[in-house]
């Protein structure tokens, strides 16, 4: 049976003092785990309050991805993203949502050195944001860290395959798993992270048979991005799927053309300013 709540009309104020509309309740980590093999999970990225408000009624999870480094800040990659960035944007997304579980990326350098460092930083992010879980990129070498976190009350979403934080090692963002050896390694990474206690797993940029094998082999739900429709769910960068960027990865389908719509609106505004038709009578205050 579907766990998606009824569509409701509710106050979109971002104040957490406002009561959560009933019967709408935020999706929990255990309920996400229970969706393995069931109704596909819908996840999109969100970095701001307003985008979270728009996405929340339609998504099971909102990912505050370190992709904000490129999407919001214009950075060349995600490596330069900081804890402060993730905390600020994560808190904004939590304030703007009621239904979806909010997952926050652990930025590069915040978890690799030791399980203890990972716990301190993950705990900080959850305290600062109110998010449900954190996401960690990597495979077998980080399985002990995932076990350390989950055994101490911090839910972890894993991320295998193409891991953008490792761009300097990988040499780019190309598809992973082309060789039998690499394909085997990715599957082993996924199994290790699942067995360590990850409640779900992003599989990015791999050959489809690898994603299908992982989905069939591990206990937690898989979330595909450039992987397979047979995964237990899907995620995309929202700005990519809305058509706000001209150049997008191969695995992106543009479900909108918002870039052109924004340009049209700005062009009309600029024209109105230049010919003095804006502001007009409806936008001005006149003496009584």
Q: In this predicted model, what pLDDT tens digit does every residue of 138-166 receive, in sequence order?
A: 999 999 999 999 999 999 999 999 998 88
| Distance separating alpha carbons of residues 209 and 162, to the nearest angstrom | 15
What are the φ and ψ backbone dihedral angles of 260, each rounded to 5 degrees? -65, -35
Q: Is the peptide bond before 249 cis (omega within 30 degrees of 0)?
A: no
Given 204, 208, 213, 268, the catalytic residue? 204
Report yes or no on 71 lying in a domain. Answer: yes
Q: What is the mean pLDDT of the chain?
A: 92
User: Considering the domain boundaries, does residue 188 fall inside one?
Assistant: yes
State the pLDDT at residue 164.
87
pTM above 0.85, yes or no: yes
pLDDT for position 9 = 40
Residue (of 237, 229, 175) closest to 43 by Cα position: 237
In a domain, 14, yes or no: no
On whether residue 256 sits in a domain, the answer given is: yes
pLDDT of residue 7: 43
Cβ atoms 186, 139 nearer than 8 A: yes
Total of domains in the chain: 1
Strands 61-64 and 41-45: parallel
Residue 21 lies in a domain: no
For residue 119, what is the enclosing H or E element?
Answer: helix 115-129
Q: Which residues of the chain have pLDDT under 50?
A: 1-16
| Separation between Cα atoms, residue 134 and residue 155, nearest integer Å | 7
Is 220 contained in some domain? yes
Distant-in-sequence, close-in-space partners of 197: CB < 8 Å, separation ≥ 6: 146, 147, 149, 150, 151, 156
The reply to whether 66 sits in an annotated binding site is yes
Residue 274 lies in a domain: yes
Known binding residue 137? Answer is yes
Range of the structural domain that residue 92 is part of = 29-283
pLDDT in the model for residue 5:
45
Domain-located, residue 9: no
Q: Which CATH number is 119's domain given? A: 3.20.20.60
Give 186's contacts (C-beta < 8 A, 6+ positions apart).
139, 160, 161, 176, 177, 206, 210, 214
Q: Residue 24: what pLDDT?
A: 58
**CA dist., res. 95 & res. 106, Å (int):** 19
Residue 84 among the catalytic residues: no
**Alpha-carbon 162 to chain mean position:** 15
pLDDT score for 173 = 75
CA distance 226 to 223: 10
Q: Is there a binding annotation on residue 282?
A: no
Tell me: is residue 151 an annotated ligand-binding position. Answer: no
Q: Are 87 and 37 in contact (CB under 8 A)?
A: no
């Amino acid at each position: 049976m579907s766990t998606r709540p009824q569509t409701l009309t509710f106050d979109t104020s971002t104040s957490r003092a406002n009561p959560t509309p009933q019967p709408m309740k935020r999706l929990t980590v255990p309920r996400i785990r229970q969706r393995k093999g069931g109704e596909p999970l819908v996840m999109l990225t969100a970095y701001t309050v307003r985008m979270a408000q728009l996405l929340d009624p339609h998504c099971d999870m909102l990912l505050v991805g370190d992709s904000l480094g490129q999407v919001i800040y214009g950075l060349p990659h995600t490596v330069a993203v900081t804890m402060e960035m993730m905390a600020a944007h994560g808190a904004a997304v939590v304030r703007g949502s009621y239904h979806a579980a909010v997952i926050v990326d652990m930025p590069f350098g915040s978890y690799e050195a030791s399980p203890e460092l990972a716990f301190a930083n993950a705990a900080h992010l959850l305290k600062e944001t109110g998010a449900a879980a954190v996401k960690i990129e990597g495979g077998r070498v980080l399985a002990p860290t995932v076990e350390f976190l989950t055994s101490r009350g911090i839910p972890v979403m894993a991320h295998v395959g193409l891991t953008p934080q490792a761009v300097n090692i990988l040499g780019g963002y190309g598809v992973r798993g082309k060789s039998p050896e690499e394909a085997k390694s990715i599957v082993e990474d996924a199994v290790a992270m699942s067995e360590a206690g990850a409640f779900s797993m992003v599989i990015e940029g791999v050959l489809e048979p690898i994603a299908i094998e992982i989905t069939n082999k591990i206990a937690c739900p898989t979330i595909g991005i450039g992987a397979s429709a047979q995964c237990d769910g899907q995620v995309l960068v929202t700005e990519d799927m809305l058509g706000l960027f001209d150049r997008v990865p191969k695995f992106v389908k543009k479900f909108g053309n918002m870039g052109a719509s924004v340009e049209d609106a700005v062009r009309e505004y600029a024209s109105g300013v230049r010919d003095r038709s804006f502001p007009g009578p409806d936008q001005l205050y006149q003496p009584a």
